[in-house]
Amino acid sequence: MRLIRQFIRIIQINIVLVRHGLEEVIFAIHLFRPIRFLLLIWPWHWFRNVDISHGVRIRRTLEDLGPIFVKFGQALSTRRDLLSDDIADELTKLQDRVPPFPGAEARTIVEKAFGKSVSEIFASFDETPLASASIAQVHAATLHDGSDVVVKVLRPGVHKQVKRDLEVLHLIANLAHRYWVDGRRLRPREVVADYEQTVMDELDLMREAANASQLRRNFENCSDLYVPEVYWDYCRINVMVMERIHGIAVNDVKTLNENNINLKKLSERGVNIFFTQVFKHNFFHADMHPGNIFVSYETPEDPKYLGVDFGIMGTLSIEDQRYLAENLLAFFNQDYRRVAELHLESGWVPADTRIDHFESAIRTVCEPIFQKPISEISFGNLLLRLFQTARRFQMEVQPQLVLLQKTLLNIEGLGRQLDPELDLWQTAKPFLDRWMSEQVGMRALVKGMRRHLPKVLEQAPELPSLVHQYFLQAEQAPKRQEALLKLEIERLENKYKQQRLWSIATAITAIIAAATIAYYF
């Protein structure tokens, strides 16, 4: 039954592609290339509306395919260095202009969640949504105490739709793992499983409220980012109420300029916020597309970001943090040998990979890029080149870093949109140097001592007893080892005796069998 459901969904996806004039995507698949000539004889290919741009057709296709595909379009929308302008402009509309569902349905969902009428919960509730996204939409409201808030409501039926598309993604990932030449190296099944966890977490608005509270606490005394307050008494698994903020969309450069916002400082602060979240707090907003970020207009020369939508957050292990920091430092210092060593040490390339060959391949990719001014280096183009190199050395995709890579690309796209001369490295390097110094050397030693000092002081009264036990165990150790050695010798002797008995018994059995055979034959 599940396989039938998946097959039907794949057929639906192909129908949507054809309906929006993107049937060339189907015929780009290796399996269908031999019958590509069918495009020439399909009537709808003759009479389709050529006045509709490629970008519009792609956006409409993603909207019709649902939340999973809309999110894919959102991720692409910030990559203007990889897309043509018409496609990027259309995908930008997916950020907060996904077709809304009726406000009356939103009212019904809220009333069902709280078990009371909207008028009992709010002093006012606007059924016209402020914004509509792939998973939920947002309505303006006022609490009875006069506080202006926004009410986030999950789309009706979104759980069923997401689970259906995830099943299809798992099917495609399994097929890619088995039949695609790069399937095992790119680990599609692990990537989809990790993405499934992320998306399912996003469907729980109580989790999102907790994420928002944590991020607000992390930046409580920081002038770079403001996170709205969560009203916990008004939060449910499919409804969340937060403080309403007022700002300028981060991608509305025209309005930002009209309000004299310092764009250079704003772009640098965006990079600083990213690295602070990743390396200081180890808790980062992993969905930083333009629809989720606004800018306060109150202090134009000292601009502050305003964040919303905290459904997707990421964390890294200490090992991944260190690997990322060292790789970035080695890469921008053009220490290709160290980049190659880090990939080998982490196990991301096979153990038998020759360091000198891998180093040479990385240098071939990176040197032409470094001939440009550092401010013109694009992470997007670099990743595309490194991907080609990775195929040669069987480098595996690391699912735990997928969110981080996506977020870094979003930040770069936004930063360059605000300030085309943004020097990403000049902004990030001091932060990475400071973080590395905190992990190794004297600063790391002092930090470790401060972290463990309370535990040491707590155990201080027991220190004499612990020392006494240590010396007592040290004194008894030779006797214990002697006794263990004696027991081991006895065990081996018994085992040897048993083996001798089995050998003798086997020999006697063989002699008897041979004598019997000789007697009768």
Q: What is the 3-state secondary structure (H, E, C) of 281-324?
A: HCCEECCCCHHHEEECCCCCCCCCEEECCCCCEECCCHHHHHHH
> Of the residues 86, 165, 201, 287, which is catalytic?
287
Kindly compute the dihedral angle of the four CA atoms of residues 281, 284, 285, 287, in this order, to the nearest 10 degrees: 170
Asked about 145 being catalytic, the answer comes back as no
Cα separation, 437 vs 423, whole angstroms: 22
Cα separation, 515 vs 517, whole angstroms: 5
Are 152 and 115 in contact by the 8 Å Cβ rule? The answer is no
Q: Roughly how many angstroms between the first and final C-alpha of the chain, as a whole number?
A: 66
Cα separation, 306 vs 243, whole angstroms: 12
The secondary structure element, H or E, covering residue 248 is strand 248-249
Place of tokens 């890469």: 331
The pair of structure tokens assigned to 197 is 């966890």
CA within 13 Å, CB half, 361: 20
Of 487, 483, 424, 52, whose CA–CA distance to 267 is shortest? Answer: 424
Are 181 and 136 in contact by the 8 Å Cβ rule? The answer is no
Cα separation, 34 vs 439, whole angstroms: 56
Place of tokens 């981060």: 250
Of 203, 223, 72, 208, whose CA–CA distance to 135 is shortest? Answer: 203
Helix axes 336-345, 318-332, angle to 10 degrees: 160
Cα separation, 324 vs 5, whole angstroms: 40
Give the residue numbers annotated as catalytic, written as ranges: 287
